[in-house]
Structure 1
Amino acid sequence: MRLSLTRIESYVLSATLLGVGVALAVIAAVIMLADFVELSRTLGVGAELGFSQTLRLTLLHAPSVILLLLPFAFLFGVLGAFVNLNRRSELIAMRAAGVSAWRFIFPAAGAAVVIGLVAITILNPVASALAAQYERDVEALRRGAAVASGKEIWLRQGDSHTQIVIHAHRQVSQGETLVLTGVSLFVSTPSKDHKGLEFSRRIEAQQAKLTPGAWLLTGAREATPGAEALRYDSLTLPTTLEGRTALERFTSPKAVPFWGLWDAISRTELAGFPATGYRLQLDELLATPLLLAAMSVLAAAFSLRLIRLGGLAGLAGSGVALGFVLFFFNQFCRALGEAGAIPPMAAAWTPPVLALLSGFTLLCYTEDG
């Protein structure tokens, strides 16, 4: 199998990568400008946000949004590169010399696959870390300090023998330590007939601090059915939760890096919660290389029409319109996947597969008749 590229293939590939780079730079500039203006409008007045702070937040947030719109960079970049080659009659000369369109489209699609793999394995974890820092900084600016999240917290821990549902009125940040206030714990144990779990006791505490392997409850009051309530200044309750991941189900799946999704799925399901969002995010990331390749093939197929035949601008515009249709179709499938209407794998892989098949169909019709 030949892995090296000919001079023509290398030339078309370099022009394609240049077009993608220009499209990505334009998209990134537009995103950063819009984000900068939005941050200045929403946070600048109340938090007295300066130019440097606004720029820092913009740079933190931009990578995650850019990765989301990376398929458009390939659509516009490849389309622009091939239209430019067509206008300069370079594609006509290549095809007149007997070079099939498949030969210079497949290297571009291969490059898209490689860039997609780099994006999900390297760039996505970096973007997720920056996005998490962005959320923390924005929350701190909105509240004046990194204090409470303002949302009620519901957690669950346990196994087949014991289940504990934890409710707290607020979460307090103390560095990396998770601290909850206004806590109620509902403990269930196996029933006497061993056919299920039944409520066994309730514990209320002023504060619960998550330490390694245990909850440290302060000002606790324990009540069991038919017995007098017991009070404790402090009470320790074993747990399998970790401070770093206990609240992960309240975090958007997009904020979890690629390499942490498998662990997030197993921990979420072990705690008894559905992991549909994490599974969908994982499948979408795994499908990213295929989606980028599909956008490259689709864009190239829409720009191969000979310029002397006319209608190239309309065909290229149709390619852009189809790209937007695929984007909204992708979001529609994602919504169905999040709602559980279709399996996460089907929701993530259907749009790129359809896009790739559409590109191959159009390419076969254009090139082979």
Structure 2
Amino acid sequence: MTLELFPSRSLAFYMARMMLVRTLVVLAGLVLILQTLDLLGESGKILAYKGNGEAEVLRYVSLRTPQIIANFLPFSVLLGTILGLSQLNANSEVIAMKSSGLSAHQVLAPLILAALGVAVVSFAFNDRIVSRASATLDQWKKINYAPLPIDRGDRLNIWVRDGDDLLSVQQVSGRGDAARLRNITLYDRTDGSLGAIIRASHGQRDGDGWRIAPAVRFDVATGHVTHLGAVTVGHGVRPDQFTLSNVNADGLSFAALDRAITDLRDAGRPTKALEGALWHKLSAPLSSVLMPLLAAVAAFGLARSGKLFIRAVIGMMLGFLYFMADNFALALGNIGAYPPWLAAWAPFLLFLLIGEVLLVRTEE
């Protein structure tokens, strides 16, 4: 019996169902509370735009809820597992399972397998739903909850620096030399001082620069306005500086982010932070598999010793420490202190070892 990972199919289904039910209940409660608190802060901004009403508030909820689910699903797995294992321990069911010859790893095996299923579903959910919701919500916030334009894959509100000058483009469509600019504003600066502002409605690639028209120049010192017609600006500004300057990792799927990183790397742009985010799209859902191991401290040890509550608190503290370490490692990866893959996977591997050590020590 000790050589089998799942000696009893009925027991495996019982424990997996127990964890999944409690996880869903905890997740539903967290989503309800956090969405309500978030809506209290954002509803005023949504309704401040003239014409917005209940439909726009509900739309915000539909876009924000997937983000909350993605962020708190692993923690819900932790809490659901702690609740289930604490109940089994209090009812002496863990003692009965160990008395029948099951090891601690065999007791946890159904929970880890169920958590692996949660991780797979979480990755698909993040990749197909959360990324799209994040991209839409981010764009909606940028325009202060005004009606969203039709999404044709254009980039909005792009800023590019050209020496001392700043170039602002409201909309960029197309890629490479075929890129088209809309509503361009050039801030002509000398030694940090603004000398003139040039505005144009559209622009396109012209040699090593961008031909914009019809251009109007406003001289800051004199206040004089000059109609320039068509002029070429931004000499040396590459097309990829417009098309790749605003890559939102949260708003892209795994494959789309991988393509964006490849384009940036080909253009000689830094990609370390985005590479860390790409690896984190794998490690974040997989963290659900780690939660039963961290929660195992609540399962083993005599319940009548009076330390069951303390064990449950220790399990929750381990979960909090993992998420803190995960965010800290990502921050270090973003500034280049860690390699991208290490920033994403180091907390997972570290707490996997911690969980295993605690499990072995507790079982002994």
Q: TM-score under structure 2 normalisation?
A: 0.77
Does residue 27 (structure 1) correspond to residue 30 (structure 2)? The answer is yes
Look up the match of 2:11: 8
Deviation (angstroms), 1:300: 2.2
Structure 1 residues 1-369: aligned runs within 5 Å: 6-47=9-50, 49-142=52-145, 153-154=159-160, 167-172=166-171, 178-183=181-186, 206-209=200-203, 217-219=212-214, 233=230, 241=239, 246-367=242-363, 369=364
Q: Could you list the per-position Cα deviations for residues 238-288 of structure 1 after superposition, in whole angstroms to 9, with x for gaps in the alignment?
A: 99858xx94443243222222212101011122222112210111111213
Look up the match of 2:193: none
* Letter matched to residue 12 of structure 1: M
Q: Could you list the per-position Cα deviations for residues 113-143 of structure 1 after superposition, in whole angstroms to 9, with x for gaps in the alignment?
A: 2322332234333111112122233333456
- Distance in 1, Cα, partners of 2:334 & 2:277: 10
* Letter matched to residue 341 of structure 2: M
- Distance in 2, Cα, partners of 1:151 & 1:139: 9
* Letter matched to residue 58 of structure 2: L
- Distance in 2, Cα, partners of 1:261 & 1:320: 33
- Does the 8 A contact of 2:273 with 2:335 survive in 1? no
Q: Secondary structure at the match of 2:269?
A: coil
* Letter matched to residue 314 of structure 1: I
- Distance in 2, Cα, partners of 1:57 & 1:93: 49
Deviation (angstroms), 1:3: 8.3
Query: Are residues 306 and 249 of structure 1, via their aligned partners in 2, closer, same or farther at CA, if it must alter by over 3 Å?
Result: farther
Q: TM-score under structure 1 normalisation?
A: 0.76
Query: What is the identity percentage for the equivalent residue pairs of Structure 1 and Structure 2?
Result: 26
* Letter matched to residue 337 of structure 2: A
Deviation (angstroms), 1:180: 4.5
- Distance in 1, Cα, partners of 2:332 & 2:16: 37
- Does the 8 A contact of 1:79 with 1:300 survive in 2? yes
- Does the 8 A contact of 1:265 with 1:278 survive in 2? yes
Look up the match of 1:197: none
Look up the match of 1:190: none
Deviation (angstroms), 1:205: 7.8
- Does the 8 A contact of 2:213 with 2:230 survive in 1? yes
- Distance in 2, Cα, partners of 1:83 & 1:314: 11
Deviation (angstroms), 1:301: 3.1
Query: Are residues 215 and 84 of structure 1, via their aligned partners in 2, closer, same or farther at CA, if it must alter by over 3 Å?
Result: farther
- Distance in 1, Cα, partners of 2:39 & 2:117: 31
Q: Secondary structure at the match of 1:342?
A: coil
Q: Secondary structure at the match of 1:169?
A: strand
Q: Could you list the per-position Cα deviations for residues 25-56 of structure 1 after superposition, in whole angstroms to 9, with x for gaps in the alignment?
A: 11211222122212113333454642332121
- Distance in 1, Cα, partners of 2:185 & 2:263: 25
Query: Are residues 300 and 143 of structure 1, via their aligned partners in 2, closer, same or farther at CA, if it must alter by over 3 Å?
Result: same
RMSD between aligned residues: 3.8
